[in-house]
Structure 1
Amino acid sequence: MRLDQLPLRQPASVDSIHWPSLSDVEGQRLRELGVSEGVTVEALHHGGLFGRGPIACRVGRMIVAMRRLHAAAITVRPLDHSNFDRSEAAA
């Protein structure tokens, strides 16, 4: 599943990122924000008209706004809510 398709408040682990679909600058920015394989993410809010704008995501302990195009390049695996510990997201 892609990050832009992840239901709100559903924690997930980043499985892969399709780096070729991003420019060098966009890829560098995602890396600087801590987005990489294995990181826990959570979609918190869909902005814009009809929820088609940027996505507010928790990446570790930070909350970042991400363009849908960038979120579509990130493949995630949903985590079980009952096994998810917020302290894991801080790691």
Structure 2
Amino acid sequence: MTLDNLPLETEAVITTVGGEGALRCRFLDMGLIPKTKVVVKKIAPMGDPIEIRLRNYELTIRKEDAKKIEVSMEETKE
């Protein structure tokens, strides 16, 4: 499943960060790295952008970018 399909207030773990070149580096710089827990906190009224919570801060990203980040809900238990 990709981050844009994650339901509100559902915790998941990032498994793969897509994108190429500068975009992928930007994702990684923002803390979107594999094995990081993430929760979708808000979705704009028109569906774009979405606000996510990770590493104790909120980050707003475009839905198009969220489609490049794969998440898994099974791996959240530690």
Per the TM superposition, whether the score is higher than 0.5 is yes
Could you tell me whether the CA contact under 8 Å between 1:54 and 1:68 is conserved in 2?
A: yes
Could you tell me whether the CA contact under 8 Å between 2:13 and 2:75 is conserved in 1?
A: no
Separation in 2 of the partners of 1:36 and 1:12?
13
Residue equivalent to 1:33: 30
Could you tell me whether the CA contact under 8 Å between 1:10 and 1:79 is conserved in 2?
A: no
Separation in 1 of the partners of 2:24 and 2:75?
28
Give the structure-1-normalised TM-score. Answer: 0.74
Residue equivalent to 1:62: 57
Separation in 1 of the partners of 2:62 and 2:23?
10
Structure with the larger helix share: 1
Larger Cα Rg: Structure 1 or Structure 2? 1
Alignment of 1:1-91 (within 5 A): 1-20=1-20, 24-49=21-46, 52-79=47-74, 83=77
Give the structure-2-normalised TM-score. Answer: 0.85
Q: How many correspondences in the alignment?
A: 78
Separation in 1 of the partners of 2:62 and 2:9?
18
Could you tell me whether the CA contact under 8 Å between 1:3 and 1:72 is conserved in 2?
A: yes
Could you tell me whether the CA contact under 8 Å between 1:47 and 1:53 is conserved in 2?
A: yes
Structure with the larger strand share: 2
Q: Which runs of 5+ in 2 are unaligned?
A: none
CA RMSD of aligned residues (A): 2.0
Task: Give percent identity, aligned residues only.
Answer: 22
Instruction: Give the residue type in structure 1 aligned to 2:68.
Output: A
